[in-house]
A = this chain, B = another copy of it.
Amino acid sequence: IAMSRRNLLLLSNSKNHDSVYLSHVRQLLPNFFGSSVKTVTFVPYALPDCDSYTSYVRDAFAEMGINVKGVHEGNALENIKQAEAIYIGGGNTFLLLKNLYEQKLVEEIRKRVLTDGIPYMGSSAGSNVATVAINTTNDMPIVFPPTFDALQLVPFHINPHYIDPNPDSTHMGESRVDRINEYHEVADTPVLGIREGGFVKVEGNKMTLLGNSARLFRKGKDAVECAKDSDLSYLLTE
């Protein structure tokens, strides 16, 4: 599949400390979705209660003048086939991925985003599932999905809500860095740890980091600091 039509916005987080849903990207969204998009198809599968999650997101998007259709309202596969744009929200990544496979949406979402070029926004778990696989989620494995492979809209992993180790901690559990390094002891796909407030915008084969800085982990190399607004297109091809 060609990647030249993809149009993605992958957020580390959706809810901010000011408690306003998506406050850090609201200004960008009308332009991201484009004037031809009247309705965004929302995928609430990362939380158990799809109706209340959709209602919450619908209210937030209404303030931006965008309609929301829950993918679970009617036939999910048909809703993806008809979607003008897709937004997959956060919650639990394992629950989300399991539901995507159970509803047989994985192939169709890939086709709509990569072939038809409809906009895809993901936040937190919705960004994890946009990548190669969910191996670098922070979530607990509360349900068992059929695989960890995900939508593969980009060829690397994201670690959302990335947080630096606390040098004063006496806790013996692994830091986020320890956990990502554990992954690179058994695999070699790069991991982009996006700090809260940060997100990547992908247009075809161009990728820009916005909103905050990030930390890039590659097997066998020192981690690299990526400044806000930097071009990360090389991660789409390496």
Are B186 and A48 in contact, CB atoms less than 8 angstroms apart?
Answer: yes
CA distance A16 to B140 in the complex (A): 24
**Nearest CB in chain B to that of A148: its residue:** B144
Are A136 and B140 in contact, CB atoms less than 8 angstroms apart?
Answer: yes
Determine if A196 is an interface residue (Cβ-Cβ < 8 Å): yes
Determine if A54 is an interface residue (Cβ-Cβ < 8 Å): no
Q: Which residues of B contact A180 (CB under 8 A)?
A: 140
Q: Contacting A140 at CB < 8 Å: which of B15, B95, B135, B172?
A: B135
How many copies make up the complex?
2
Interface size class of A (residues with CB under 8 A): 35 or more
The proximity string for A residues 85-101 relative to B, scoring 1 for CB distances below 8 Å and 0 otherwise, is: 00000011011000000
A-B contact list, 17 entries, CB within 8 Å? A13-B172, A17-B170, A92-B182, A95-B186, A134-B141, A135-B140, A139-B179, A140-B180, A140-B182, A141-B141, A141-B148, A142-B183, A142-B185, A143-B186, A144-B147, A161-B173, A172-B196
Which positions in A face B, CB cutoff 8 Å? Answer: 13, 15-17, 48, 91-92, 94-95, 134-144, 147-148, 160-161, 163, 170-174, 179-180, 182-183, 185-187, 196
